[in-house]
Amino acid sequence: MEKFGPVRVGLLGIGTIGRGTFEVLARNREEITRRAGRSIAITRVADLDVERAREIVGDQARVCADAAEIVSDPDIDVVIELIGGYTVAKDLVLAAIANGKHVVTANKAMLAVHGNRIFAEASKQGVMVAFEAAVAGGIPIIKAIREGLAANRIQRVAGIINGTTNFVLSEMRDKGIGFEEALAQAQALGYAEADPTFDVEGVDAAHKITLLASLAFGVPIQYDKCHVEGISKLSNCDVRYAGQLGYRIKLLGIATRRDPQEGGPAGIELRVHPTLVPERRLLANVEGAMNAVWVRGDAVGDTIYYGQGAGAEPTASAVIADLVDVARMITVDPYNRVPHLAFQPDALADVPILPIEQARSAAYLRIRVADQPGVLARITGHLADAGISIDAALQKLSEDDGQTDVILLTHVSEESRIVSAIEAIQAMPTVLGEVVRIRREELD
Amino acid sequence: MEKFGPVRVGLLGIGTIGRGTFEVLARNREEITRRAGRSIAITRVADLDVERAREIVGDQARVCADAAEIVSDPDIDVVIELIGGYTVAKDLVLAAIANGKHVVTANKAMLAVHGNRIFAEASKQGVMVAFEAAVAGGIPIIKAIREGLAANRIQRVAGIINGTTNFVLSEMRDKGIGFEEALAQAQALGYAEADPTFDVEGVDAAHKITLLASLAFGVPIQYDKCHVEGISKLSNCDVRYAGQLGYRIKLLGIATRRDPQEGGPAGIELRVHPTLVPERRLLANVEGAMNAVWVRGDAVGDTIYYGQGAGAEPTASAVIADLVDVARMITVDPYNRVPHLAFQPDALADVPILPIEQARSAAYLRIRVADQPGVLARITGHLADAGISIDAALQKLSEDDGQTDVILLTHVSEESRIVSAIEAIQAMPTVLGEVVRIRREELD
């Protein structure tokens, strides 16, 4: 299938996300190659902890301590920057661009502060600087705004884009505890760093909403103009009062276009602060360390994008999506860089679509019965005979006609088993109407 | 700015969605051009109702009755197919492809049945057939699965991908009414067609989940193997019992990868049926005609994409996103087809970021007061002086220390007004602690 050699990638920094990226690329090599049309291989890794890096990559990649070696290596096509911070990372990214390499980065701090210069240099050199992993982890929100909503005049973007603070706020509400206690729990569980300032004071969310505002409204990156308030001064009684009024408090990054016809000054509002959100909104129901971004466009209306905003593999998912974008862009025929069906036409699989008899699902059963002793025992007996166990049961006098309904929730079983159990139940003389079966999915 | 002439588009069928596409393209012409790097113009329209078509497009496009003229016109770069159905549409799309034109279509029925052939021809001719509008309206779900989640071994896709049935099910639950009555309401409100068979029997959802399954798992399109059950036999008592057990009933399209290690047969389950979903899941809380798709990947975990799944402008949003993809693909420098900041570098706007004093927001205020007569009157007086009106008020004995808290929700006002009102309130001798202000956003 492969007409081209692998895309050769140099990885700068193999901490949590770097390791996740390396491991997901290795685990899903076949799947990713079928999509990208060629394989993607991390051939070089730079990390100050050379020993640890060697333990992770084995003989799959050459390891060195000096990242500068990699950004100037003529055998490297793409550089992944996962060092973080504003200074060293920026210098390495600019050097990689100057050497004609494409760059993939998860570094929102660097882009919020130096992005205008970095993107200008990249455009001059004709290389891509991809940064899906910089905002909302694995959620493809940059692609959604930049490409998926390209038809729209975007009016507003509001997001839960920092998992640490959302976890702390969820704990404060659920457990009725104060900020300090909730933060300590988040730290104990690994959701907050030892020095949590960047997260809890809103700086991280501000980096991200600044980038999203540029994508949404077509303005240069202006992090210094973002209004930033964190959650550290939030008192539990306000969380409680908000709840009594039908609201939840979330740390939102909000970017809003203000048009002249609204009466006030025209421009863009850019802010991060604790915000009361009505509890009926989906955004208010995003709990724990999850992220979600709400985007309103004039044509599309309201859209929401939800998922894990941090963590090794969700972030790796975004890093690798960017690598696949680069691989597709620099390879194969120009008009089919993204294959119609996601996978290259010659890489479609012949995995069978299973007949419904082999599908597996839990079930809701409603059985209308004559109210005689032993009916439930016989029904559950038929289910047991088919190897189906029961999750919950409810016996009700039907409100419609006063007959008795037996409602059962079963555990997951193969379709053919539940069908034969239903046939047996249906044949019971004490079963009055047709047995109703509706499938059930826990989605967990 | 423009180095190239407009992308010339021929539109086949100017019904509801065609009209929406024409109008959004016209309304957002500047914004779209800034993103795409060149303008996109519908220069020809084919519709059997030539009169009506002329009324819509005026002198902006040439109108004819015969779509065959457009698919062979050498001056057309891209054809939008919005005729619908399996036969005429398919022949026109194949003719357009044969003539080297890129195609954008919203026609899920055609693609579910003839997609394999259409995509094969397109690949042979080196043209794109883009179909974001075919699934879930304005939600960029195809782009998310095909590109955004390219790193993942996708395990499951489950979606509310038919707005009509979701509206009917929401009505059945909210109002405690039966299927027939809810359907009649949907028809009266324009959410269901006069002949609703395709929607209520699950056929439309089956077309869509079949396409999503191919994108997720890299298998050919196999609509004939999809198991399809609609909602027309659903009884209201089951909706009610499900609610009592903590579930909501949704019509889901579900595509699941079954791996050998799970014990059963390996393959892909592909099915549409009413499904009990736990009410705590976000998917269970998608109400009315909204759509949402849940995707689980091995690296990214669970992600959800939510928005309007139908309607003129949401669908037009997806059609035009595809047009922008095509325009970016056939234009400008190869490595920067999608500009870093969504808009072309020379098209960034100098719209100002407003200072926080000019931001507009509603507020939650908590004011700790000495419990004396007239305090609330003086507080609300200060707010009225600043031109701020009050939405809700709550007076509480604080659970923490027995003092009295006055909680006010204000309507939207400019930041500077609320700040000056807070200063005045803070200066009152009866106000004991610091006034707490948290901003509030209704997100509506």
Task: Judge whether residue B338 has pLDDT over 90.
Answer: no
Closest CA to B336 of A218, A141, A120: A120
**First and final C-alpha spacing in chain A:** 36
Please give the single-letter amino acid code of residue A420: S
For A217-244, the pLDDT digits (tens) are 999 999 999 999 999 999 999 999 999 9
CA distance B379 to B374: 9
Pairwise CA distance, residues B316 & A149, whole Å: 10
Tell whether A120 and A164 lie within a shared domain: no
Q: Choose among B153, B215, B414: nearest Cβ to A28.
A: B153
The per-residue pLDDT for B3 is 61
Rounded (5°) CA angle A428-A431-A436: 115
A52 and A169 share one domain: no
Q: Which residues contact A173 (CB under 8 A, 6 or more apart)?
A: A239, A243, A248, A249
R_g over Cα of chain A: 27
The span from the CA of A65 to the CA of A330, in Å, is: 29
First to last CA, chain B: 36
Residues B165 and B271 in one domain: yes
Residue B307: per-residue pLDDT = 98
Q: Which residue has the tokens 């394989």?
A: A39
How far apart (Å, rounded) are the C-alpha atoms in residues B330 and B146? 20
Is residue B208 among the annotated active site residues? yes
Of the residues B208, B225, B250, B396, which is catalytic? B208
User: What does DSSP say about strands A390-397 and B102-105: parallel, antiparallel, or unpaired?
Assistant: unpaired
Contact A148 B128 (CB under 8 A): no
Q: What is the mean pLDDT of residues B258-262?
A: 90
pLDDT band per the 50, 70, 90 thresholds, residue B8: very high
**Residues A437, A359: contact at Cβ < 8 Å?**
no
- Is residue B378 within 8 A of residue B409, CB to CB? The reply is no
Question: Do B236 and B133 reside in the same domain of the chain?
Answer: no
The model's pTM is 0.95
Q: Residue A147: list chain B partners with CB under 8 A.
A: 140, 143, 321, 324-325, 338
Residue B2 lies in a domain: no
Contact predicate B310/A181, CB 8 Å: no
A13 and A125 co-located in one domain: yes
Q: Is the pLDDT of residue B1 over 50?
A: no
* Count helices and strands in chain A by DSSP H and E runs: 15, 17
Q: How many domains does chain A have?
A: 3
**C-alpha to C-alpha distance for A268 and A273, rounded to whole angstroms:** 16
Distance CA B267, CA B270 (A): 10
**How far are the Cα atoms of A178, A276, B79, B271, B326 from residue A202, in angstroms, in the given order?**
18, 16, 47, 44, 38
Q: Determine what percent of chain A falls in helix, strand and coil, rounding each to the nearest 5.
A: 40, 25, 35
> Do A47 and A190 lie in a common domain?
no
Give a yes or no: residue A2 inside a domain.
Answer: no
Give the pLDDT of residue A162: 97
Q: What CATH number should be reported for the domain holding residue A331? A: 3.40.50.720
Is there a contact between B342 and A218 (Cβ–Cβ < 8 Å)? Answer: yes
CATH number assigned to the domain comprising residue A416: 3.30.70.260
The CB density around residue A389, as the number of other CB atoms within 10 Å, is 11
pLDDT at B328: 87
Run of H or E including A81: strand A78-81
State yes or no: pLDDT of B401 exceeds 80: no
Interaxial angle between packed helices A29-36 and A16-27, expressed in degrees from 0 to 180 and rounded to the nearest 10: 80
Strands (E), B335-429: 360-369, 390-397, 404-410, 413-414
d(CA B409, CA B438) in angstroms, rounded, equals 10
Confirm whether B372 is domain-assigned: yes
In a domain, B1, yes or no: no
pLDDT for the residue numbered A5 = 85
CB distance A285–B285 less than 8 Å?
yes
B273 CB-near residues (< 8 Å, 6+ apart):
A438, A439, B202, B227, B228, B229, B251, B252
Which residue, among A215, A229, A335, A404, would best test binding to B if mutated, counting the most B CBs under 10 Å from its CB?
A: A335
Instruction: Label the pairing between strands B436-440 and A267-278.
Output: parallel
> Do A81 and A12 contact (CB within 8 A), yes or no?
yes
Q: From start to end of B216-299, where are the E strands?
A: 227-228, 247-258, 267-278, 290-297
Residues A285 and A326 in one domain: no
Question: Does any domain span residue A340?
Answer: yes
Of B120, B339, B399, the CB nearest to A345: B120
Residue A249, min C-alpha distance to chain B (Å): 9
Looking at CA atoms only, how far is residue A406 from chain B in angstroms?
10
Closest CB to B329: pick one of A258, A306, A335: A335
Residue A298 maps to a domain: yes
Q: For the ranges A109-118, B131-140, B399-408, which has the lowest average pLDDT?
A: B399-408
Q: Tens-of-pLDDT digits for all 444 residues of chain A?
A: 446 789 999 999 999 999 999 999 999 999 999 999 889 999 999 999 999 999 999 999 999 999 999 999 999 999 999 999 999 999 999 999 999 999 999 999 999 999 999 999 999 998 999 999 999 999 999 999 999 999 999 999 999 999 999 999 999 999 999 999 999 999 999 999 999 999 999 999 999 999 999 999 999 999 999 999 999 999 999 999 999 999 999 999 999 999 988 888 899 999 999 999 999 999 999 999 999 999 999 999 999 999 999 999 999 999 999 999 999 888 755 555 788 888 888 888 888 999 999 999 999 999 999 878 889 999 999 999 999 999 999 888 776 676 899 999 999 999 999 999 999 999 999 999 999 999 999 988
Average per-residue pLDDT for chain B: 94
Report the candidate in A287, A338, A329, A325 with the shortest Cα–Cα distance to residue A308: A287
Best of B108, B147, B245, B277 to substitute, by most chain A Cβ atoms within 10 angstroms, is B147
Any idea which of A51-55, B3-7, B136-140 has the lowest mean pLDDT? B3-7
Query: Are residues B18 and B154 located together in one domain of the fold?
Result: no
Lowest mean pLDDT: which of A76-85, A302-311, B85-94, B260-269? B260-269
Residue B272 resides in a domain? yes
For chain B, say whether A347 makes contact (Cβ under 8 Å). Answer: yes
Q: Is A214 on the interface with B (CB under 8 A)?
A: yes
Query: Could you give the angle at the alpha carbon of B226 between the alpha carbons of A421 and B317, nearest 5°?
Result: 135
The answer to whether B330 contacts chain A (CB < 8 Å) is yes
Cβ atoms A414, A358 nearer than 8 A: yes
Parent domain of B244: 141-309
Per-residue model confidence as pLDDT tens digits over B180-222: 999 999 999 999 999 999 999 999 999 999 999 999 999 999 9
Rounded-to-10 torsion of CA B54, B59, B60, B64: 40
Residues B180 and B225 placed together within one structural domain of the fold: yes
Question: For the purposes of burial, counting CB atoms within 10 Å of the CB of A378, is it exposed (0-12), middle (13-18) or buried (19 or more)?
Answer: middle
Task: Inform me whether the C-beta atom of residue B132 falls under 8 Å from chain A C-beta atoms.
Answer: yes
Average pLDDT of span B357-362: 94
Q: Does one domain contain both A268 and A303? A: yes
- 3 state SS of B221: coil
Burial class (CB in 10 A: 0-12, 13-18, 19+), B41: middle
Question: Which residues in chain B have their CB less than 8 angstroms from residue A97's CB?
Answer: none
Measure the CA–CA gap between B229 and A282, rounded to whole angstroms: 28
pLDDT of residue B336: 58
- Catalytic site residue from A90, A101, A208, A250: A208
For chain B positions 395-424, those within 8 Å of chain A (CB to CB) are 396, 398-400, 405, 407, 409, 414
Are residue A256 and residue A108 in the same domain, yes or no? no
C-alpha–C-alpha distance, residues A424 and A406, integer Å:
15
B434 is a domain residue = yes
Number of H helices, E strands in chain B: 15, 17
Alpha-carbon span B310 to B17, nearest angstrom: 9
Q: A97-134 b/e with 16+ CB inside 10 Å = b?
A: bebebbbbbbbbbbbbbbbbebbeebbebebbbbbbbb
B255 and B332 share one domain: no
